[in-house]
Structure 1
Amino acid sequence: MTKREGGSHLLYVDPDPAYRRNVPSALEPEWVVTAAESVEAATAAMDGSFDCVVAADELPEMGGLEFLDSVESETDETPFVLFTAEEDIDLVRQAFRAGINDVIYKQRSSDVTADGEPDSSTDMIDSTDGIVGLRHCLDSLDIGSTDLNGITLDVSRSLMGAAADEVDMKTEWALQSLAEEIDANQCLIYEVDDGTRLELTHGWTDDEIGDSETHRQLFGVGSETVPADQFPGFGSQLQQFEPACVDITAAAEPEPTGGTATTPASNGDSGTTAVVSSEASPELPADGDRGTLLALPVVIEWQLSGTIVITVEQPREWSEEARQRLQAVGELVGHMERRRRQRQELERQNEQLEQFASVISHDLQNPLNVISGYLELAMETGNLDRLDPALDAAERMEEMLDDLLTLAREGRAVGETQEVELQPIVQEAWESVETYDGSLELVGLDDLDPVEADGSRLQEAFENLFKNAVVHAGKDVNLRVEADDGTVYIADDGQGIPEDKRDVVFEYGHTGGDGTGLGLAIVRSIIEGHDWEIEAAESEEGGARFDIDLGR
């Protein structure tokens, strides 16, 4: 057999206290041993998680074969080994007829007398030889073992060799392969987002798992976003770079007498039902190494980057070696995700540099030619009135350079964010720009919940939208800013944006009039810096409209 890297689970039943001590010591850590002294204790311990059952031939209540017969329906195809005190050929025959996988002797003499008694003239083999024999027997059994060593090496090689456009696909495959190998129903990667919530980046979930799955009901595990304070063991374990292990089968509670809505949730194959509060998660300990949920920290550059989460139906022992291998896969995925984002950021910066070069070489060249031409004309004629167009061109260059510096210094970067009211920001932005005879109408902003934003940069975005409206719709433009269902609309009554131009108005250097061609590029950088989206459309009056999706 291939040894289980996660530690196989053995139920050992024996009334002899010496063997109940010695067997676990000899078999661990490859085997996690639950020792029981009686049939009653063994039956109570059976929860479907055992990979093998070993029982003495004589138990207080019954013989070993009778014990097998009494629990056959619960052990199903689980291997059963009889650990007998003495050699008995008839017992061996009965054992194999009953379907027992093997019979191991606790003690064996090197010789016996004619009446079957040990021969005192020969040396007895040490009693520990029986335990050694038991260990060899267990190592030879095919228990459908888990080779975490092999699967983690396979998925690691696959991920490390993935091309940029294969990362997502191979990550999903890796998580599915891990889950299927360890018989888990979920294998997920969550990323810590600003310390207050966890965002699902990659994951595999069994098709049979639905919204009623208990881990999801209790903690939100499997959802796209989980509040950090709701995630099991986040504050007490994961932030300390320690694994968090939770047993949801301990969440079973009596039906409350009233007040709180409850939802019945299946506890896997056990047939029991947990009554779970829909308003709060139960206080379950998130420590130790046994449970139905295992969350391992993904640590990158000595910071908690996220967590890899595995859920199973029945409580399981998670050995240190298994945790280390699973955590290594999670951290490999985390490193690859960070590397991909760094690559995307470099590509964005390179694109930005190319766009800057284009603006400098073309857009700034025009006003510079105007300045040069009118200066020469003024020098030739001595007419200083000829300098007015040159002054206008110089002012236009100054505006373009200011916008370029804004983009170069800040890009998509957003400073520290906090909850801010949108209406005061919009009003202050309107008052900060030259709006001439224009008017502003606000609708629904006072009913909008606060947004998580960098207030100063958000105000800058609205200032640029208002400037754009004044430049392109005229000094008497009528503007309307409306909030509705998580989207903010900025609409004017000007000429509007041709449909074939709406996808390019946010590009660097694009201008349909006297603007610098950078204002809307700055707006887009700020909006996307908040992880929001913006697009151009047509207003009800036929003018321009900009829709900002706040991601709600």
Structure 2
Amino acid sequence: MSEPIRVLHVDNDPEFADLTAEFLRRENEAFSVVTVREPEAARATLAGEPIDCVVSDYELTPVDGIEFLEAVREDHPDLPFILFTGRGSEEVASEAISAGATDYLQKETGTSQYAVLANRIENAVTRHQARRRSQRKLRRERERFSALFEEFPEPTFAYEYVDNEPIIREVNDAFEETFGYDAERAVGTSVDDLVVPPDQMTEAKEIDERVRAGESVDRVVLRQTADGQRYFSLRNIPLSLEEGIDGFAVFTDIHERKRREQDLERKNEQLEQFVSIVSHDLRNPLNVASSRLTLARDDCDSEHLEYVASAHDRIGTIIEDTLTLARQGDSVDEMGVVDLPTVARRWWESVQTADADLAIATELTIRADADRLRHVIENLYRNAVEHGSTSRQPLADDAVEHGSTSPRSHAPEDAVEHGPTSPGSQAPQDAVEHDGESVTITVGTVEGGEGNGDSEGGGDGDAPAGFFVADDGAGFPADRDDLFEPGVSTEPDGTGFGLAIVRDLAEAHGWDVTATESETGGARVEITGVNVVE
């Protein structure tokens, strides 16, 4: 059964009023009709009973139907009101609609008019009830939003545009705390006058234009607080929940982050200047000195010239390592597929390794920036060759000598390669020889998660986690905390840049680097977190 519809019918003709009530009930059983003859009695009924719709004649006493409508509107601005009258004219109809009548219907002869009236009443009540439900829902949403607005952790204010000027209408607690302006100071004030620094006004006007055009804004801005200027991330929400509010501005305080970014930019600029100096202002004099040394060798034969040549080589190495550190530290955006065994062998040939041996104990294919990976591998080779101990550790059962491998190394039988012995190699023979034996450097797979460094095969898991470069020398010192810091070297003539370069380039890939001990007690550097191609 439908919800009852209570109708108040006001008509000074009791017979017509009774007839109207009867026909309305016949048209719709949900109608419950209350009939009165005078406007005062009708107002008393409205004050004491729930009424869904008023149906009124025009010709009433002591006031007419329009005056009665105006009186009803004072207390019930939205109540459906239908003027149902025998005095029909365009003038009356216009006056009724202007006064707030919901509908206007002229009385006619016959019973069909009651069907029309019943339909008008039902439609008016349906629309009114739907509107009230919508208003209740909106009111609840406003209440929830108001609570959210107050509790929202980011500084926020509601704004309205008045003559193209953004005016603050509400502020939350976070705004008061962060900007230092209380609601009494802020509400009713122009946004631009309150929080926009004078030198940022052009940008603020551009934001205003975009917001008025309905665009969403998300940008970093400099704004004035009671304690000074700060950087914020500004987002606008073009949402109007009630009259007088066009949207909301949400601020996120990023001042400290912005300061760090600016400091980093300044440091990067200084670094670029430094790179320029190293690349040009140092290389050029070094090239001149090297050329002069060549001429000096032609003119005389002195043992001192070899020391000069060695110093030149050391300076050149320091320059190259410094440039690598400065230029290669950025994050890697694009990576290709790299076959690790292939490139490990190829890059071995470009390093001065003298009598050192290379053992390939991996078949990994990984994703990496090949150029930066080459710097990683070559620096690990040099570190193993140049920092090998003069008391070489014995190999466990000659596991990696000339291709023989431990069960977990998975090295091919021809995995061991010897360093180049061409006359062009300037490396002293004793740099890689240890009591008559050469150092062996192994490139292998780190298995299972992080890799524990217990053996040349890696951890206990099944999936490869990365790769390692290990040697059978004396190993790293017990205190390894600062091994990867620039300038730290275990050799008197070492630059201390090799492992720092390895760390920076690995971290640029998102990899982890660990210094540990190899199976033979030598040095082992593990690089994990690598994207392995199955």
TM-score by length of 1: 0.41
TM-score by length of 2: 0.42
